[in-house]
């Protein structure tokens, strides 16, 4: 298909770019792995593969021949308790309003101590 050829050409360009970035080193070298992964992902977007997956002729989770699988359990540990998130936002807004009103009255009261003529 014509679309498959265009996708393959784009994936090849990404792989070439990833190779150049890896050769450069530095920040570009760190991004080279991501570009290589992007090339693999772009290849999975071939129109013929999408049609085959829609018809049920190809596996939906990966490209045929690929050994990459999703993890069976979460990759992150349990969450740490976050402080302050269990507060009611209306209480916080009310406290901020009350503090602002108190500061405004204080400023107004001090302005009477030194009147302008």
Task: Quote the pLDDT of residue 100.
Answer: 96
Answer with the residue of higher pLDDT: 34 or 66.
Answer: 34
pTM: 0.46
CB 42 within 8 A of CB 13: no
pLDDT in tens, 61-116: 655 445 556 667 777 777 776 665 677 889 999 999 999 999 999 988 877 767 76
| CB 28 within 8 Å of CB 21 | yes
Mean model confidence pLDDT for the chain:
80
Given a cut of 70, is residue 9 above it in pLDDT? Answer: yes
């Amino acid at each position: 298909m014509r679309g498959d050829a265009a996708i393959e050409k784009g994936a090849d360009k990404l792989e070439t770019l990833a190779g150049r970035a890896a050769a450069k080193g530095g920040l570009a070298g760190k991004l080279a792995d991501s570009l290589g992964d992007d090339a693999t992902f772009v290849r999975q977007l071939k129109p013929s593969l999408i049609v085959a997956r829609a018809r049920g002729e190809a596996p939906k989770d990966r490209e045929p021949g690929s050994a990459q699988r999703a993890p069976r359990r979460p990759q992150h540990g349990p969450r740490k308790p976050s402080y302050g998130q269990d507060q009611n936002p209306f209480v916080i807004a009310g406290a901020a309003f009350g503090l602002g009103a108190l500061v405004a009255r204080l400023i107004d009261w001090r302005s009477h101590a030194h009147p302008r003529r």
